[in-house]
Amino acid sequence: MDVIREAWVYDRGDGPGAAATRLTGRKATGERRLSGALSEVTLDDGREVMVKRADSSEEARAEAAGLRWLAEAGTVRVPTGHGQDGPWLVTDLIARGRPSREAALELGRALAGLHRAGAPAFGSAPPGGPREAFIGRAPMRNVEGAEWPRWYAEHRVLPYLRRAVDDGTITLSEAEVIERLCARLPALAGPAEPPARLHGDLWNGNVLWGADGHAWLIDPAAHGGHRESDLAMLQLFGCPHLDEVLRGYESVAPLADGRLDRVGLHQMFPLLVHAVLFGRGYAEQALSTAKAALER
């Protein structure tokens, strides 16, 4: 289905085309389904939009609010939103291109500007976004805190560790390793940083390398956090020209000494989220990452 283009005029019912019509005010004339959740829809004026069906209205509201918050920083490129209606979210379609060193350098500078735009506190939700938000398909609670190490342990790492233990993905004895890491976070976290405005789910799959030669960010789990968390997630799952992204970033906002020693700390959250969603392989990676961080 993802390689077949279906074209028709939407005149009844609910679906990607109907959602696009409601939210853009233009009649949908065609659709290309990319997955169960994503469709490219053609409008009667020739434009194409991306239509996403989330699992719930709150998930769609969280993503829409995150996109607006990132756009308001005026630095990173995000698709223009046309609105959210129940579980439906409609944005501009970004034509895909290839990664380039120039786009990566620009992305690094833009990320630095995004983070500098700041947030009221660690754990702040985007304006208009729900407290009970999401990272991918996993729940993510936005609870505010004043100090990053304690907030990160209590509201990012430990909730997913407990769920992984409850699910049998991590044993109680293994969990003690990650709990020890959480206890040592104040000493390992490096210099205090102000809350940054984060994309929040910045793996390479959420960096869209556009045909226009720029990098675009999609699918945020935006919140106030530590700026090194976005960079650590890019490193965790691989990003083309990551060295250029980091070079661009540091040209605008130099990172504190010792960042490489802290990468594992910031990767604990996404690793545990993946352990909860996808199982034991990520749990083992989280455990080895925690052990390495404790040995530094």
First-to-final CA distance of the chain: 49
Of 201, 243, 257, 261, the catalytic one is: 201
What is the Cα–Cα distance from 59 to 49, expressed in whole angstroms? 19
Q: Which residues of 139-175 are buried (b: 16+ CB within 10 A; e: fewer)?
A: ebebbbbeebbebbbebbbbbbbebbbeeebbeeebb
**Residue 138, both tokens:** 């996993």
**85 is an active site residue:** no
What is the Cα–Cα distance from 9 to 43, expressed in whole angstroms? 10
DSSP secondary structure, the chain, as one string? -TT--EE----SS-SHHHHHHHHHSS-EEEEEE-SSSEEEEEETTS-EEEEEE-SSHHHHHHHHHHHHHHHHTTSSB-PPEEEEETTEEEEEPPPB----HHHHHHHHHHHHHHHHH--SSBTPPPTT--SEEEETTEEEE---BSSHHHHHIIIIIHHHHHHHHHTTSS-HHHHHHHHHHHHHHHHHS-S--PPEEE-S--SGGGEEEBTTS-EEE-S---EEE-HHHHHHHHHHH--TTHHHHHHHHHHHSPPPTTHHHHHHHHHHHHHHHHHHHH-HHHHHHHHHHHHHHHH-
**Residues known to be catalytic:** 201
